[in-house]
Homo-oligomer: A and B are copies of this chain.
Amino acid sequence: MNERAFQTAAADAAGRLAEHWRALASCELPVVPPGPPGTTLKALPETAPEQGEDLADILEDTWHTIVPQLVHWQHPNFLGYYPTNNSPASTLAELVTAGLGVQGMMWSTSPAATELEMRVCDWLARALDLPPRFTHASGQGGGVIQDSASSAALVAVVAALHRASRGRWREHGTEGRLRVYCTDQANSCVPKAVRIAGAGEPVLVPTVPGTHTMDPAALADRVDADRAAGLVPAAVVATVGTTVTCATDPVPRIGAVCRERGIWLHVDAAYAGSAALCPELREDDAGPEFADSYAVNAHKWLRTGTPCDILWVADRGDLADALGATPSYLRNDATDSGKVVDFKDWQVPLGRPMRALKLWYVLRAHGLEELREVIRHDIRLAALLASLVEREPGFHLVAHRLGLVVLRAETDDRTRELTQRLAGEPDVLCTPAIVDGRPVLRAALGSPYADETTVRRAWDTVRACAAPAS
């Protein structure tokens, strides 16, 4: 191995990235790449090379072949989905994590990897004002970094099924009778998690008309009816900040229903959960104190690159009971002592990289004050965009909450036309969706480089796409 070649290439890459970020900030790059399906495939050879190549050439090819065919999620005019964030601190941490190359499946396979993760999950729990039982320091619960809100939901559902059936959910007699509840506004990862866990389709609880949030009375009725019919209600998944309209289910009232009946409450706060960093944005409806498990994607709104979802649980025993496995080749004194946390039992995979380093870097490099300002800044930009929408004839503001703005045109046909034209527009990316059966466009703020000017320009582009074709 040639360390000097690595150092030279790393400096080259860092310079290219800094240049790339500047180009994004100044909107010199399109958001959406120009090529049709197959463009990149055609540019790549059909077989791997037999002989090694220079890192410098590989970097050059990256910028020549790959970068021009990416959607730039950090672009100021990337308004699609919810943001997947990034920062120099997070990028630096990934370099260090990769270079150290440890595998932290158990405490014993890299103590600092586990203890750093425990500590930064506690840091964030306190910063988000989560209940103390969600911290490792409490000795009861704690946080663990998952790759996604999907995996967090799967882990929570599996733990809930396990608890509801006293560990017998996979045996004859309970299977087919366990039920998980959410609304049709839950992210698609929730029904997917329920399906993967073999618990069929979730029961869709009605929403309160006009709110897109779960009706707690309807939940109670449905759960009680199911129980009377011999079924076993195991888990409810509530959402803080739904994907389509950023609505928040009334978690305290849902939590009361769950607590009375011994049902696991998982809260998917993937996007909006980060807002609780700001005291003025903490909402009673978010209600983490009612949850058995609570998940936030740091990679959405906390400047931490994907993957970085934090799943907190109130009782760490639930996860280990459902997911634990320690065959002979994983036995070790530390685990046997019961004094350590082995994160392999808190997740689907056995192996795991050192996941916490980038969250540590980001929380330290930015500090909580700056991260709060990031959130407030994005919310101000969304408010600006919402005001532009409201003022514009022929447009309607469908929803506006935190960094999300949902809009439609005068008629559904016009909204569909706008969506089609905008899909062919390389300089802005919005996400179409359906709200109350009607087509809408979503615009979520979150780029590190967005400001008032970029928002106004993006809006001008949307308006231009809405104008009748000449």
Contacts and interface: CB of A to CB of B under 8 A. Distances in A.
Contacts of A198: 161, 169-170, 175, 197-199
Contacts of A102: 70-73, 84
A115 B37 CA distance: 8
Nearest to A3: B18
A370 interface: yes
Contacts of A331: 432
What secondary structure prevails in chain A residues at the interface with B?
helix
Given A5-B88, A158-B196, A49 B305 contact: no
A108 B98 CA distance: 28
12 contacts: A67-B112, A91-B101, A147-B349, A148-B350, A148-B351, A150-B348, A154-B348, A187-B327, A188-B325, A197-B197, A306-B353, A307-B349
A461 interface: no
A119 B15 CA distance: 27
Nearest to A111: B69
Interface string A156-185: 001001000000011110011000000000
6 nearest interchain CB pairs?
A: A198-B198, A86-B101, A94-B98, A69-B112, A17-B99, A10-B14
Give this chain's copy count.
2
A244 B328 contact: yes
Interface string A316-328: 0000000101111
Contacts of A122: 46
Of the listed residues A35, A101, A331, the one surrounded by the most CB atoms of chain B closer than 10 A to its CB is A101
Interface stretch (A204-212, A222-230, A286-294, A357-365): A357-365
Contacts of A326: 188
Interface string A7-36: 101110111111011100000000001010
Interface in A93-112: 93-103, 107-112
Given A37-B337, A48-B363, 8 more contacts: A51-B370, A58-B360, A59-B92, A69-B110, A86-B99, A170-B201, A189-B349, A306-B351
Of the listed residues A47, A107, A434, the one surrounded by the most CB atoms of chain B closer than 10 A to its CB is A47
A306 B48 contact: no
Interface stretch (A123-131, A213-221, A256-264, A451-459): A123-131
A328 B433 contact: yes
Contact of A20 (B100, B325, B432): B100
Contacts of A172: 176
B434 A328 contact: yes
Of the listed residues A85, A116, A352, the one surrounded by the most CB atoms of chain B closer than 10 A to its CB is A116
Of the listed residues A85, A92, A307, A323, the one surrounded by the most CB atoms of chain B closer than 10 A to its CB is A92
B70 A112 contact: yes
A242 to B, nearest CB: 10
A118 interface: yes
A337 B127 CA distance: 45
A408 interface: no
A48 B334 contact: no
A237 to B, nearest CB: 14
A279 to B, nearest CB: 13
B448 A1 contact: yes
A442 interface: yes
A456 B2 CA distance: 25
A367 interface: yes
Interface in A48-73: 48-55, 58-59, 62, 65-73
Given A18-B7, A325-B188, A366 B52 contact: yes
A200 interface: yes
A411 B110 CA distance: 31
A2 B22 CA distance: 10
A432 B353 contact: no
A15 B7 contact: yes
Given A7-B15, A37-B339, A170 B195 contact: yes
Nearest to A420: B333
A89 B98 CA distance: 10
A320 to B, nearest CB: 12
